[in-house]
Structure 1
Amino acid sequence: MTPKIVVKDIFDYGGKTLISLVSDNDTVIVANKKGMVKVLKADKPEQEPEVIEIAQGLTSVHGDTNGTLILTNIEGNAFRYTIQTGKEQLLTRSSLPLHDSAIVHSGRITVIGGDDLELSLINLENAGDSFQKETFKVDEQVSQLSCNSKTNILAVSFVNGKVQFFSLNTAIPNKVHELSDYIPAVTYDLTFKDPLLENILGNDKDEDTDGSDDEDEKISDSEFCDDNRICTRTAWSPSGLLFALPCKDKTIKMFSIKNYELVKTLTTPDNVSVYFIDLQFDCQYGNYIAAADLNNKIFVWKCDTGELIYSNAFKKQLTNISWRLQEDGTKLQLIAGTWSGSIITIKDLAKTSEEAQTEGAKNSNLFVNSDISESENETEENQKDGANIDDLDDKENLFTQEVDEEENTKRKVPYDDEEDFIEDDDGAGYVIPNKRHHFSSTHGGNATPVAYSSGRPKPFQYTTISPGSTPFGSLDRRYLTMNTVGYVVTVRNNEQNSITISFFDLSRFTETHFEDLFGYDICSLNENATLFAQSKSGQIHYRPHSAMHSNWTKVLPLQRDEKITSVAATNKRVYIGTSFGYLRTFNIFGVPLAVEKVTPIVSLVANEFRIFIVHYSPFNGVSYSLYEQGPQSSKYFQRESPLPIFVPQSGLGSSGRSNDLFTSFNPLGIKSMFFNIYGDPCIFGSDNLLMVLSKWRSTMEARWVPLLDANIEIWKMSGGKETSDVSVWPLGLTYDVLNCILVKGKNFWPGFPLPLPSELGVRVPILVKSKVLQETKNKKKLQSEAEVAMSDDETKETNEELEIPVNMAAEEEYIRSKVLSSLLSDTLENDGELYGNENEVLTSLVGTQDKSLLRLFADACSEQNSDKAMSIVFELKQDRALNAAVKISERAEMLGLVRRINAIREAKFEEQMNSIE
């Protein structure tokens, strides 16, 4: 295969010309510094290009699939242009030059950097010409930027030779790593902006070239110099698990995102090496990497072997390069911009290779401590579903099947007879319904959906549910799990998935990336480790956060149609639950400890040795179990008791938004399950209700208590307006505060980037909306009468959030403090103090109960309702509260009530004296 070189003049007047290939692989953006952009269709070269007038002096241009392009220029302006209409929108303006931009989060946000010592994150989704902008300071002037859409890692190259890496998984970028002394320290030469210098050199002479290949092209543009051409930008592989740097020693160094360790160094064959002006991995699989240098030579290497497969010197002065997949889908070509207004296309440069992927386990070994290679005959649908299925028919070891660490052969995938192998677990709608119908087995197997009549319910589908997990929806990524520690993101790539483990507390943990060769779809995250599982193959992978401990991988024996539905890991144990009701227990080193058969498991969480399980069977419905599996003994506290959870139906959910997608992904609608800090099980359903299990140590006293209705809290915060575009995504419960993510938009699960966590104080749902609104209306009426001069706008501003009337707030506070004190008392009686301050907290809760009761007592006295007041007195716990009730009664001139309260005080005093004797 011989490469073919095609030179095409785009701008007759010449000048610095940059190119950018849009991710649709068809649209080529060609931008010129003289203020012109042409949009070419690569597969239709005869078609007349779109022409857009732009600002002059461009420094970077990037096209996006939404039909827009982002441009920065030397004057310090960043613009967005619409390709169809040519509409210009100013994104940001700086007093100093802007050098580069990067488009992230599927075109929703752009990052812009330059000489002003800050990075700007601009939200492109805002309607109109105003854009939301967030800025954060950096230590040095920005040279160039690049970001990988799979890992959401932004690489920022600085003029001092440092490269810093920022995670964009959250609303505020977090610095995760820094590499020093690799890239050249280069400052952009701005002397060409001097008007006097421009007049001396002649600003119009840069275009007077004939483009001849007989001799090197001469450029007289004063901007044309080595410092303004040298590349310091990080190049990312398509999966984001490898990146390359153009280094100051005139080599290219490839790094793994895992620990940012050096993998390979590529060198040029020339005796005289120079700096590079651009560097790019191929856009398909990352098997090749291309570079252009200051001598206008283009080199192409095979990444896995480091073999140089192409090199050529060009007469034209090059600006940047970009890979493109040719129309036949089997070959790759390279497009290069020049300083003379033309572009160079090198066709048939390399073949796409699906067999030798440089980021696979065979060569890069990025999947840590796993010798199992990916399947040879994995189909595209399997990649989308993230499943590699092994033959797990283990006759000799029915409990578990160890991974043969010495076997390095590829495994065949016997799924020819498994018609329900691919399931639309995430509700993305990419699976064609099976024509053959089977009924669900009696032991809770996961059967193929059946075409039932309208009066007959469909069988329950056991899906993979981890606490806080979300569906893919229309994106290529989703959250595998989410809690107060952090979150785990999986991204679907062309051939395999990649996984990112992120944390909220970056002072204790470091963000981790690795290549997922096995399609893990279940996850459990704690402060010590992350546990992964592949639901259909039965493979589990335990990955500690600390490098001091080793990883381990196992494969569990699964029956036909059985799948792993949920996993949980603590710092003591690992628990695995399946759709057939098998519950397997390991220690944190992978040693099997127990196996038990229960009702089919939907989801489970664990805390130390305690396990909270949600079951479902077509006969008993939704139930739960809670038991402790300690080193010495095991005990069931609750065994398959009914679980009073709201089960969503297809159509509109409680939030008013369509929940069909989430219901297909999570049939029971369980957003999250967790233990609070005192070890009480909690569950948060699709109705946005937080429930906690109280008195769970006693079978006859256990009860589910609603602690928070998030819908009511949102309603209060919105000033009593019914909102359908805001919802709550739970993370965990800390005493009386729910840690959560406030989600806005059409989906009620969080998207990307993840908003910052918020806190909601728990409020027992006893409020009546109509009464709250009426009380608020009456209060506003009184205020308007007292303050006639207050304008309507001021009134709205001061009453933006609803204030709950005093008597209603007192009732809620009493119930809440009573529930919390009951939970804490139970913990103290059975487990003692866990944090050293439980007795103080309990005393405070008792005092809060009495204070709230006294407010209700005062309200009853104001109404002269002695019977109601007396009923409240019986609930008071402290003698000083009874004394306060006497004083309130005296002020209300209810002498009979005073005598009755004093009698109660004397009776309690005598009871205390008798108990002392």
Structure 2
Amino acid sequence: MTSEAVRPRGRPAHTPGTTILTYTPDGKRVITAGSDSAIRIYTVGQDGEPVTVDEGVEGHFGIAATARIFFVKNDSFIMGAEDGTVWQYNLQGGTMENLLVRCALPVRDIAISNDGEWVAVASDELTVKIVNVEDMTKVKYLREQTKGAKHVTFDPSGRYATVSCTDGLLYVYSLVSDDPELVRKLDGVIRGLEAEDEATARAVWHPDGMAFASAQATRDISVFSISDWSPQKPFSGGHNGDITALSWSPNGALLASAGADGQVLLWETKTQNILRRYDFANVINLAWHPTANLLSFTTSDGELFIYEGFVPREYRPLLEKNLESAPLLLGGPLVETSGNGRLPILNNLKQGVVNKKRLGTPDSLDDILGPLPSDDGFIDDDDGAGYAEDVNEYGKRTNDHLGDLVGHDIKRPVSFWSPKTHAPFQPGSTSWKGNRRYLCLNFTGFVWTVDQETHHTVTVEFYDVELHRNFHFTDPYRYDKACLTIALSDSYIVVLTTKDYVRVYTLYGTPYRIYRQKTPAITCAAWRDYVLTVGNGPVGGSGSTTMTYSIDNVKRDEVCQNEDIVAIPAGSELRTVFFSDNGDPCVYDSDGVLLVLQHWRSPGQARWVPLLDTKLLDRLATGRKEETYWPVAVAQNKFHCIILKGGEKDPYFPRPLLSEFEFKIPVSTQPPKDTNDDNEESRHDNSRFEEAFVRETLFLSLHQDLVSSTNATSSQRAELAQKELGIDKLLLQMLAVECREGEERGMKALELVKMMKDRSGKMVEAASKVAQRYDRSILEDKIRDLEEKRIMDIDDDDLA
């Protein structure tokens, strides 16, 4: 290497077109391929002619150098081609060794896992294949894509594979098990590009494995954390044209990017500043040398550049550092925020490693994530503050730095504790996914906005297109939402503000009422004349604020419930709040439990009743499905939601499909076993009837409240009688189960008869016939005694 970098000359390697490259693991050679059939092997540090392999296949799109035993041997490389084949080549002889994969459509990209055992093949087919290099009969399939793939990458640990599709969706798969599982389907993370486009949509993993970078349509470079797949602070202000290639330095401290603007940029990872700009046109692939200060890149002109001394002298210490952390929020690899302060969780702690010491048994995560990159200790005193001094053998800081605490002049540090509060949110809205988000998504339809840099475009679509007309408009103000949260009913518009004001307007915008909420606002919902507001209340024993709610009748200026507690357990979060189609308040929490508020029109009498625990759904009983549910509505006595698979947090784009589930109150979390035993079958029937009885009794109570507090229609009153009759029928079915169980269940059977609501005597008569059918004579006599007593009570009432 020379002391000062000399601008490299381009080496004609292939005919114009896509030109790809890679280093061998030892860094001694650079291998290139292009749109012709030749493969070139260059020796690093030498200007001589390359070795040419003529056994190649025309139209190479993917190349990777690999070794069979953890990169100890540098004897082979793998290449994919436009004819759909993926071959393994011998490096020394330049001959084809093995045909690993054959696809029906052109191969667009390949990737090799860091251990050299697996090769992932992306093609114009919908399925991405992951093939074992040593045994090509071992194949894993990534099947969730709906379009062809442009790129595929492994994370450094081999736990994840990312697939960049031509429709602009990025698929993240977990490879921990033999059957890959979709973890996330991310929209807005990459651009929608054609397979032949020179611009890149590749997810480029940071060497620490905690994040990946991707190029945006805005020409920024986004970073996404694997902790929650959320966007971090982007590398911005760099390119004036489409980004064509990205590559992290081996230690992750630097990032190189190339663009259609004829620029190759060198970025510092930690500060995200541009350190140097280089003028090189048509660069489409970049590759860092494994150990040296050297960057190689290829162009669409078919040229190869080997840039020795690429990182300027003043920045070379960055390249010599140990593994640098990915540029995540708050400056650390992972940061956990709690009510007790903010504690950085360093990368090696995430891996279950504390320096080189361990407590207890070995951690199996070492086998997945690998050991620490260095043995320098996990605290890096990179700002000279001295906090890395006095570190014990477990990586913990000792108290030696405190000095002598004797005396009154010592200023001791003061720690401030603050409770954990629930952040405000808009029901029915989602977080940004790239440049778009849902502003509203409910049972009527949905509204989404797209960030167009200078403005937003808003689209409104309805499920019932015959009743409503879809439309869209330009939003020059780029509204996220007008205030903290808004609610709209068929009577009023309600807005909560940052000053905790509750502002009520008529549907045509006339101010109607204003008051201040007693607790800091979180969200609100409205139905007809009623407004439900939720806020952060008193601090509980867990250090988090309890959530309180109030319900007001705006028209009558009445308070139905005043600062009562939302029944969300500690550690859980409120996902949404809405009214059902019958006008009953409902909430859904992060534990997947849907609750409805009973007796909410009576002050001090309200209580939250679980309608459904989605974790107990039959579809999840096998434990093979990984899915959660994004709540949309409670309507038609069903829970309507969007199924999110693989750890997704928000609904996807384009238009999501709605699913519905029947209510099932968690009367018991231990369902009977499915056997052929008659007694077990009887208990199963009884459990099913008991759940239905509790559920229908709840619905009867909600309907009774509605009828008694409003000007009920004749159909509503008739429905009340039907609900009472339905409960009595359930009691009859439960009675039959008890009669089958034997005489010893007679007291419970008689109790069921006493719970019947029918006063005409028909249901009691039917109960006596059930007892007679099962030869329960004693029970039958007691039921008839109940009926006689009922008739006598009626006669006494008439005489009075």
- 2:577: which partner in 1? 673
The equivalent position to 2:771 in structure 1, one of 886, 889, 898, is 889
Instruction: Return the alpha-carbon distance in structure 2 between the equivalents of residues 573 and 696 of structure 1.
Output: 21
- Pair 1:573–1:854, CA change in 2 (3 A): same
Matched, 1:703 2:622: no
Aligned to 1:335: 297
Tell me the residue number matched to 1:683: 587
Deviation at 1:828, TM superposition (A): 5.5
What is the SS of the residue equivalent to 1:767?
coil
1:869 Cα offset (Å): 2.7
Q: Contact conserved, 1:323 with 1:335, CA < 8 A, in 2?
A: yes
Picking from 650, 659, 663, the partner of 1:762 is: 663
Q: In structure 1, what residue type is equivalent to 2:570?
A: V
1:616 match: 537
Q: Is the 8 A contact 1:488 1:501 kept in 2?
A: yes
In structure 2, relative to structure 1, the CA distance for the partners of 1:335 and 1:633 (3 Å cut) is farther
What SS does structure 1 have at the residue aligned with 2:415? coil
Q: Which structure 2 residues correspond to residues 233-244 of structure 1 after superposition, within 5 A?
A: 240-242=216-218
Instruction: State the shift of 1:693 in Å.
Output: 0.7
Distance (whole Å) between structure 2 residues aligned to residue 582 and residue 645 of structure 1: 24
Does the 8 Å CA contact 2:130/2:139 hold for their aligned counterparts? no
Shift of 1:764: 2.0
Name the residue aligned to 2:732.
854
Conserved? CA contact 2:18–2:300, under 8 Å: yes
Corresponding residue for 1:224?
none
CA distance in 1, matches of 2:691, 2:663: 10
1:451 to 396, 415, 418: 415
Per-residue CA deviations over 1:598-634 (Å, capped at 9, x if unaligned) read 333252231345223133124996352333464x554
Question: How far apart are 1:699 and its partner, in Å?
Answer: 0.7
Output the CA distance in 2 between the equivalents of 1:588 and 1:110. Answer: 56
Q: Distance in 2 between matches of 1:810 and 1:45?
A: 82
Cα 1:99–1:459 change in 2 (3 A) is closer
Deviation at 1:908, TM superposition (A): 10
Q: Distance in 1 between matches of 2:788 and 2:728?
A: 19
Match of 2:143 in 1: 134
Alignment of 1:66-465 (within 5 A): 72-77=80-85, 93-99=102-108, 112-114=122-124, 118-120=125-127, 129-134=138-143, 156=166, 231-232=196-197, 240-242=216-218, 280=244, 289-290=259-260, 321-322=284-285, 335-337=297-299, 342-343=304-305, 384=329, 451=415, 458-465=417-424
8 A contact 1:9–1:343 mirrored in 2: no
CA offsets 1:494-542 (integer angstroms, 9 cap, x no match): xxxx443399899966864316899x9xxx99979xxxxxxxxxxxxxx
d(CA) in 1 for partners of 2:119 and 2:795?
A: 71
Shift of 1:155: 6.8
**Taking structure 1 as reference, are residues 512 and 907 closer, same or farther at Cα in structure 2, changes over 3 Å only?**
farther
Show the counterpart of 1:487.
430
**How big is each residue's C-alpha offset from its partner over 1:61-88, in whole Å with a ceiling of 9 and x where there is no partner?**
3889xx999964234246999x9xxxx9
**Does the C-alpha gap of structure 1 residues 871 and 423 become closer, same or farther in structure 2, counting only changes over 3 Å?**
closer
How far the C-alpha of 1:888 sits from its partner, in A, is: 0.6
The aligned counterpart of 2:518 is: 599
Unaligned runs of 5+ in 2: 72-76, 92-96, 113-117, 156-161, 173-181, 203-213, 221-239, 248-253, 266-276, 312-325, 347-384, 388-412, 463-468
Query: CA 1:508/1:341 → structure 2, altered by over 3 Å: closer, same or farther?
Result: same
- AA of the residue aligned to 1:240: Q
1:460 is matched by which residue type in structure 2? Answer: P
2:634 corresponds to which of 733, 738, 761: 733
State whether residues 144 and 232 of structure 1, in contact with CA within 8 Å, keep that contact through their aligned partners in structure 2: no
**Aligned-residue offset at 1:694:** 0.9
Deviation at 1:696, TM superposition (A): 0.6
Aligned CA RMSD, in angstroms, stands at 7.1
SS in 2 for 1:605: strand
Q: Which residue of 2 aligns with 1:638?
A: 561
Superposed displacement of residue 820, structure 1:
2.2
Aligned to 2:621: 718
1:807 aligned residue: 686
Cα pair 2:84 2:102 within 8 Å, conserved: yes
Whether contact under 8 Å (1:612, 1:681) holds in the other structure is no
Read off the aligned partner of 1:767 and give its amino acid letter: S
Task: Show the 5 A alignment for 1:772-787.
Answer: 772=671, 776=673, 779=675
Alpha-carbon displacement from aligned partner over 1:531-573 (angstroms, at most 9, x marks no partner)? xxxxxxxxxxxxx99535857579999xxxxxx9x52343653
Secondary structure of the residue aligned to 2:19 is: strand
Instruction: Mark the runs of 5 or more structure 1 residues left unpaired by the alignment.
Output: 157-163, 184-229, 245-265, 268-277, 292-297, 302-308, 350-380, 387-421, 436-448, 453-457, 468-480, 492-497, 529-543, 558-563, 649-667, 784-798
Match of 2:485 in 1: 567
Partner amino acid, structure 1, of 2:496: I
Answer whether contact 1:873 1:885 (CA < 8 A) is retained.
yes
SS of equivalent residue, structure 1 residue 95: coil
**Cα deviations across residues 81-133 of structure 1 (Å, max 9, x unaligned)?**
9x9xxxx9999753343446899xxxx9989443xxx53366999x9944243
Match for 2:753 among 864, 870, 873? 873
Matched to 1:733, the amino acid is V
TM value normalised by structure 2: 0.53
| 1:349-369 residue CA offsets vs partner (Å, 9 max, x unmatched) | 9xxxxxxxxxxxxxxxxxxxx
Q: Which amino acid aligns with 1:858?
A: A
Q: TM-score, normalised by structure 1?
A: 0.48
> Paired residue for 1:547?
472
CA distance in 1, matches of 2:599, 2:764: 28
* Contact in 2 for aligned 1:17/1:31 (Cα 8 Å): no
SS at match of 2:602: coil
The 8 Å contact of residues 606 and 612 in structure 1, kept in 2 or not, is answered as yes
What do residues 368-400 of structure 1 show as CA deviations (whole Å, max 9, x unaligned)?
xxxxxxxxxxxxx999479xxxxxxxxxxxxxx
Q: Distance in 1 between matches of 2:7 and 2:152?
A: 29
For residue 640 of structure 1, report the CA deviation from its aligned partner.
0.8
Q: Is the 8 A contact 1:672 1:730 kept in 2?
A: yes
Q: After superposition, what is the alpha-carbon deviation per residue over 1:131-157, rounded to whole angstroms, capped at 9, x for unaligned?
A: 24326777xxx796899x9xx99774x
Is residue 627 of structure 1 aligned with residue 542 of structure 2?
no
Give the conservation status (yes or no) of the 8 Å contact 1:171–1:753. no
> Separation in 2 of the partners of 1:729 and 1:861?
43
Counterpart residue identity of residue 576, structure 1: L
CA contact (8 A) 2:724 2:757 kept: yes
Contact 2:501 2:514 in 1 (8 A): yes
- CA spacing shift, 1:673–1:594, aligned 2, 3 Å: same
Q: Is the 8 Å Cα contact of residues 677 and 733 (structure 1) preserved in structure 2?
A: yes
Once residues 573 and 415 of structure 2 are traced to their aligned partners in structure 1, the CA distance between those partners, rounded to angstroms, is: 23
Q: For residue 575 of structure 1, what is the amino acid of its counterpart?
A: V
Could you tell me whether the CA contact under 8 Å between 1:490 and 1:500 is conserved in 2?
Answer: yes
Q: Tell me if the contact between 1:728 and 1:742 (Cα under 8 Å) persists in the aligned partners.
A: yes
Distance in 2, matches of 1:591 and 1:29, equals 72
Change (3 A) 1:839 1:892: same
Match of 2:376 in 1: none
Tell me if the contact between 2:120 and 2:152 (Cα under 8 Å) persists in the aligned partners.
Answer: no
- Describe the superposition over 1:655-704 as per-residue Cα deviations: whole angstroms up to 9, x where unpaired: xxxxxxxxxxxxx6334433333332223345554321111111143222
Q: Counterpart of 1:683 in 2: which secondary structure?
A: strand
Report if aligned partners of 1:4, 1:347 keep a CA contact under 8 Å in 2: no
